Amino acid sequence: MASKNNSIADSYYLNDAFYDRLMALNESWKMEAPAISPITLEDKQACESLIFTEARLADDLRLEQWLDCYSDQCVYWIPSSYPVVDPRQEITLEFHDKRRLQDRVARIRTGVAYSMVPVIRTRHVLGNIEYRQGVDKEVRARASFIIDALFDGKHRILSGWIGYSLVSEQNEWKIAVKQINLIDADCLQENNTFFL
């Protein structure tokens, strides 16, 4: 899966309506009874494949291919609160649109990015994935995660849950929103670097 997107994406889609949608998504991921709006088996399999592929590409540091898992109008968000607060009202641990993700990958590829010296090794374990039909061919998913990270000779375990908004673009599923909710988001954090 070679990188198809060589141009830098714009950030103009990050407006109040987009932030309002983020907060509505956050509320929808908290809902119980995942069968409220079931999705087709075909969509479930395609979305599950995307979720697992994105995690594997991050683990393998195949970052250009990892970027291809994301929509051109995406957000990668790690809140710094538990429960989550609107990112317009507080500082977040990470908040990147597609342009910022591209910038991060380019900086990592220089070989001198402080957060990746030495290069981090990770393994993602995802489970308990629940799916719901969203709007306009969107699928919403929620997964529990554990990440084992080895950085500078030190093991670290992170856990929590991830909310996904997955959209079909030109018959290919992409991640429009990935919200990583650490169980210790409101605690002092070490260098989380770029591995979630």
CATH of the domain at 35: 3.10.450.50
* 190 belongs to a structural domain: no
- Whole-angstrom distance, CA of residue 92 vs CA of residue 61: 24
Q: What is the pLDDT of residues 171-192, one digit of tens each?
A: 899 999 999 999 988 887 776 6
Q: Determine contact, residues 68/54, Cβ cutoff 8 Å.
A: no
Amino acid at 64: E
Q: Would 72 be classed as within a structural domain?
A: yes
**Distance from C-alpha of 134 to C-alpha of 166, rounded to nearest angstrom:** 9
Residue 83 domain-assigned (yes or no) = yes
Q: C-alpha angle 68/79/39, rounded to 5°?
A: 55
Please tell me the distance from the alpha carbon of residue 6 to that of residue 3, in angstroms, as a whole number.
7
**Residue 50 covered by a domain:** yes
The reply to whether 2 falls in a domain is: no
| Residue 40 covered by a domain | yes
Q: Has residue 110 been placed in a domain? A: yes
Q: Which domain holds residue 126?
A: 16-182
Residue 48 contacts by C-beta under 8 Å, 6 or more apart in sequence?
A: 129
Give pLDDT tens digits for 80-105. 888 888 888 888 888 899 999 998 88
The number of folded domains in the chain is 1
pLDDT at 2: 40
Report pTM.
0.85
**What strands, in cross-sheet order, belong to the sheet with 70-78?**
94-97, 70-78, 172-182, 154-169, 138-151, 121-133
- The low-confidence residues of the chain, meaning pLDDT below 50, are 1-5, 35
CA distance 80 to 175: 21
Query: How far is Cα 50 from Cα 175, in angstroms, rounded to an integer?
Result: 8
DSSP character for 134? Answer: -
